[in-house]
Amino acid sequence: MKTTIYLLFLMLFSVSNAAEITPFTSDGCSAFPNGTLAQQSLWLSCCTTHDKAYWQGGTRQQRLDADLALQQCVADTGEPIIAELMLAGVRVGGSPYWPTEFRWGYGWPYPQGYDVPLPNPLPTTPIIDMHIHTAGLGYGNSGCFVSEALKESYKFDYYLNAFGTTQAEIAEHGDKLVIQRIADMLQASKYVDGAVILAMDGVINAQGELDKEKTQVYIPNDYVATETARYPELYFGASINPYRHDALERLDIVKNQGAKLIKWIPNIQHIDPSDEKIIPFYEKMKALGLPLLSHTGQERSFDEAIDEYGDPMLLTLPLSLGVTVIAAHIATTGESEEQNNYERILPLFEKFPNLYTDISSLTQINKLGTLETALKEPRLKGRLLYGSDFPLVNMVLVSPYYFPTNLTFKQMRDIAKITNPLDKDIKLKQALGVPTEVFSKSAVLLNIHP
């Protein structure tokens, strides 16, 4: 059975390079007329040019370019409606996987499939993963805690497994074991030179103090700062809820501890990024040169969330004050005010040069196609940063086998064999077309020099 599945994937998604291309032939417009009744060869030359591209074959993008060129050529003859019909026909009927005489790459023996473009090279400068979470249950006097509701959730054991540990191990060795495992993973990585480990503040009550009853996950700054300082490849990502009564003083403290950014998940921390009461916090962040990494979009990794706080438009306030904002995940989940959050955030990139975003989580099965879309979006050029969102990349949510129309079977198989979760994330995103500059930009923006 395994052999049958392997051969099926190989037939559908791999590219054969052994055979030679046959001499060019053309059947004109195939099953479609070559012109009108009055001018029977009106658009025949368009079809012949199109056939030359289809005969040779190539990448998925080259096929699209050829189809659009056919549409434009026919439209230029004065037949725009015919052009639309022909475009629809070739998009459906021209797939390289149909065993027809006019398929994409028909000059090669069937099945040829698409050529796969060579991936962009990885940078020669350091790659920093600016989005790695840690976990803690309070062992070893870390000060961390997880709510009882989250502990009882089916997600809890999955998360610990993705971190490469168990509750029993953490109880024996302390919460610091999780950060040690992350450091070990980085030291063994072939491609990632360092990572920002994220603290997580909790919900704050009306008195400006931590509300333990409403907080789902709490990972203190002092704990993360102390543990990351033990490893040269780890960097401190602080988290401060701006509603704390001493929030401004805490900004000074974490800056002195070497914090590279401030992390928020407003949906679970009950932070309204548009609240004018926290303007002094934003002004202090800007003065200290601390970027804000804020989750945008829907949040489903925790037991409950207020998704209104994930509306990317709420970040207009800190952006207008000059804070460098990194909108995590490009708001690729959920809607706000009946508008897709991703479409909602894009105009902000045109308005604010201090807005960036990361590509963490974009290879998850619930976000298929979002990375490809983002890489083609001109408003995101120069604004994308590399991040993994570990441990989520080490779960069933992410697999190269979710991309059979983007990758060959060999690519999927080779990436799936990689045992280091961070290296696997790098190679998957590289194979999916992430540009070299995206992998290197986190280090530049966060002023990290390993």
- Give 9-42 pLDDT, tens digit per residue: 444 444 444 457 899 999 999 889 999 999 999 9
> pTM of the full predicted structure?
0.81
User: 339 pairs with which residues across the strands?
Assistant: 336
Q: Is the pLDDT of residue 399 over 80?
A: yes
Phi-psi region of 240 (alpha: psi -120 to 50; beta: other; left: phi over 0): beta
In a domain? residue 14: no
Same domain membership, residue 135 and residue 213: yes
The last residue of a domain, from among 115, 150, 170: 115
Which amino acid, residue 215? T
Averaged pLDDT, 291-316: 96
Q: Which residues contact 253 (CB under 8 A, 6 or more apart)?
A: 221
Same domain membership, residue 102 and residue 46: yes
- Of 42-56, 320-334, 399-413, least confident by mean pLDDT is 399-413
In a domain? residue 330: yes
CATH number reported for the structural domain that contains residue 186 in this entry: 3.20.20.140
Same domain membership, residue 202 and residue 58: no
In a domain? residue 13: no
In a domain? residue 9: no
Q: How many domains, the chain?
A: 2
In a domain? residue 165: yes
Q: Which two tokens stand for residue 329?
A: 């995940």
How many residues belong to the chain?
Answer: 450
In a domain? residue 23: yes
Q: What is the pLDDT of residue 19?
A: 55
Q: What sign has the CA pseudo-torsion 358, 364, 366, 370?
A: positive
Confidence band for 407, pLDDT divided at 50, 70 and 90: confident
Cα–Cα distances in Å, from 441 out to 125, 356, 444?
A: 10, 10, 5
Q: What is the pLDDT of residue 15?
A: 41
Q: What is the pLDDT of residue 200?
A: 98
Same domain membership, residue 265 and residue 151: yes
- CA end-to-end distance (rounded Å), the chain: 48
Q: Which two tokens stand for residue 275?
A: 């609240």
Which amino acid, residue 397? L
In a domain? residue 3: no
Same domain membership, residue 221 and residue 150: yes
Cα–Cα distances in Å, from 337 out to 82, 312, 328, 343, 432?
A: 39, 11, 20, 12, 32
Same domain membership, residue 362 and residue 307: yes
Q: Which two tokens stand for residue 170?
A: 């953490």
The last residue of a domain, from among 115, 137, 169: 115
d(CA 279, CA 274): 9
Q: What are the respective helix, strand and coil percentages of the chain, to the nearest 5?
A: 45, 10, 45
Q: Where are the beta strands (DSSP E) in 206-346?
A: 217-218, 234-237, 262-264, 292-295, 325-328, 335-336, 339-340
Q: What is the pLDDT of residue 166?
A: 95
How many helices (H) and strands (E) in the chain?
Answer: 18, 12
Q: Write out the residue range of the structural domain in which residue 85 sits.
A: 19-115
The last residue of a domain, from among 92, 115, 138: 115
Same domain membership, residue 294 and residue 402: yes
Q: What sign has the CA pseudo-torsion 218, 221, 226, 229?
A: positive
